[in-house]
Amino acid sequence: MDKFTVLTGLVAPLDRANVDTDQIIPKEHLKSIKRTGFANALFAAWRHDPEFVLNQPRYRGATILLARKNFGCGSSREHAPWALVDYGFRCVVAPSFADIFYNNCFKNGLLPVVLSEAEVDRLFHDCAAFPGFKLVVNLEQQGVSTADGSKSMRFEVNAFRKYCLLNGLDDIGLTLRHAGKIREFEARRKAQYPWYF
């Protein structure tokens, strides 16, 4: 997994609430046995519309997606973050995320940032007002600021996830450090509740 430290990137605004995983990647595009190659499938149905945000030249090359509440609701398909990452996004900023999607982002070097409704509102305004609007996302400091430093906001992130993302660490390797504990737990459970085995 790629490390995430500091990202300075162009912001693309997606002004809709409850964007679900069927919109992020429609199921026609799930038929691959690989983790890559989903860039063209991202928001596939909406991209037929020439006015759609990703079709506007001013947002070409965006690496930060600005979104509304409950982003990523619906399916557990990891193809959703895969498609966002494949397209070039490294960060999604929204007032709230659906649980499974939020979790899946961290496994793929994609940072989901939760800011308040008011902060997100202001960013939508700035995005519309200033062509080429960029943000600087600093994971170590848990901060989001405008490129000129005039505004800065703080976000929360769980310490373990932050550590893994900052260092690009593989979860499985980290968990296997506890292999002994897992084996002990399993042996105890098997003795006590053999019907689960």
In the complex, which residues of this chain contact another protein (CB under 8 A)? 16-18, 20, 22-23, 26-28, 30-35, 45, 68-70, 73-78, 81, 96, 98-100, 103-104, 107-108, 158-161, 170-172, 175-176, 178-179, 181-182, 185-186, 189, 193-197
Q: Which is nearer to another protein, 77 or 134 (CB)?
A: 77
State the minimum distance, in angstroms, from the CB of residue 100 to another protein.
6
Closest to 55 in 3D by CA, of 66, 38, 67, 40: 40
Q: Which is nearer to another protein, 8 or 15 (CB)?
A: 15
Q: Report the alpha-carbon distance of residue 24 to residue 151 in Å, rounded.
A: 29
Q: What residues have CB less than 8 Å from 84, skipping those under 6 apart?
A: 24, 42, 65, 92, 110
Give strand pairing partners of 9: 135
State the minimum distance, in angstroms, from the CB of residue 94 to another protein.
12
Q: Which is nearer to another protein, 129 or 179 (CB)?
A: 179
State the minimum distance, in angstroms, from the CB of residue 152 to another protein.
24
Closest to 18 in 3D by CA, of 96, 75, 83, 78: 96
Burial 53-84 (b: 16+ CB within 10 A, else e): bbeeeebeebbbbbbbbbbbbbbebbbbbbbb
Token representation of residue 157: 């992130």
State the minimum distance, in angstroms, from the CB of residue 13 to another protein.
14
State the minimum distance, in angstroms, from the CB of residue 61 to another protein.
27
Q: Which is nearer to another protein, 52 or 147 (CB)?
A: 52
